[in-house]
Amino acid sequence: MLIFHTVHQLQNYLRHQKQKGLITGFVPTMGALHQGHLSLLEDSKKATDLTICSIFVNPTQFNDPKDFEKYPVTISIDVELLLKAGVDVLFLPSVKEIYPNGTVNQPHYDLGFLETVLEGKYRPGHFQGVCQVMHRLLTIADAHHLFMGQKDYQQCMVINHLIETQKIPTKLHIAPTLRESDGLAMSSRNMRLTKEDRQTAVAISQTLTQMKMQLQPGSLQKIKDDATAFLTSKGFRVDYTEIAHADTLALVNNWNGTDPVVALIAAYIGEIRLIDNMLLTKTD
C-alpha cells in the first residue's frame, strides 16, 4: 500500500495509473475504521482496478468543537487494517493540504431543502463542511467511483446533490448499513460509548424495526411519538424520530401507502450522539 501525504504526490501517481487505463475507486473516511468501512473498501476492490482510501478528520463539518476534539484517532490501527484489506493507496493529508488557504471563507453550496431538515436542522453548517471537504477530495482523487454507506442517509443525498450540481465525473455507490450482531449500526462513535451505554444503544435499531412493523397508511404521528417515548424511557435524549420520503427526504406525516419511506433517528446516549435509519418500504 502506498501512502501519500500531499496532494501533488497523490495526483501525480493517480494520473499515471489512469493513463494505463485503470478504473479507480474511492472510499473517504475520518479514520477509526470498522468493518463498515472495510466492506466499502471490499466493494471498491471488486468493482475497480485501484482502490484509494483517505483518512482526514474534517474540522469544518463539526458544529461542536468539543466533538471534533474528541473524535477518535487510531491511525496506526487503521493503517494495519488497510494493509490487511489490500488497499492500494492511502491518502493521509494535513488540514493545510486540504485547505491551503485556511478553513474560513470556504465556498457556500446551495443544498436547498436538504439543509433545513433532520441533520441539517440540528447541526447547522454541518453539510456545508461536508460539501467543502468532499468537493476538495473528489477533485483531488478524481476517481471513477465513490463508495459510501447508507447509515449516513442524508449525507449520501447531500453528496449526490454535490456531484450532480458541480458536475463531478464520479459515480456514487451507496452500500447497506453494516450492523453489529445485536443490530447496532457500526460507527466510529461507538468507540466512545461506555459498556453500559453500548448495551443501551441497541435500542435505536430496535426502535427502527418497531417503526417498520407499525407502518400503515394514514397518520404516522403515533409511530413517531411511540418511538420517541421508548428511546426516552431508555435514557436517550432524542433530537428526532422521523419518517421521510426515501427519495426526497420530505417529512411524511400522512402516508399514502405507496410512496417509499425511510425512518431516521438521532439521539444522545450520554454525551455521544448516534444516528441510524431504516428503509420502511422496498425501493426500486
Q: Residue 156 in contact with residue 176, Cβ under 8 Å?
A: no
155 is in an annotated binding site: yes
Grid coordinates given for 160? 449526490
Cα distance between residue 153 and residue 157, in whole Å: 7
157 is in an annotated binding site: no
Q: How many residues in total does the chain contain? A: 284
Q: Spell out where the chain has E strands.
A: 2-4, 24-29, 50-55, 89-91, 145-149, 171-175, 218-219, 237-245, 254-255, 261-269, 272-279
Q: Residue 1 in contact with residue 89, Cβ under 8 Å?
A: yes
Q: Return the number of other C-beta atoms located less than 10 Å from residue 36's C-beta.
A: 21
81 is in an annotated binding site: no
19 is in an annotated binding site: no
36 is in an annotated binding site: yes
149 is in an annotated binding site: yes
Grid coordinates given for 181? 450482531
199 is in an annotated binding site: no
187 is in an annotated binding site: yes
**Catalytic residue check, 8:** no
Q: Any bridge partners for residue 261, and if so which?
A: 245
Residue of 174, 183, 236, 229 lying closest to 209 (CA atoms): 183
233 is in an annotated binding site: no
Q: Out of 5, 16, 37, 108, pick the active-site residue.
A: 37
216 is in an annotated binding site: no
135 is in an annotated binding site: no
Residues serving a catalytic function are 37
Binding residues for (R)-pantoate: 61, 155
Binding residues for beta-alanine: 61
Binding residues: 30-37, 61, 149-152, 155, 178, 186-189
Binding residues for ATP: 30-37, 149-152, 178, 186-189
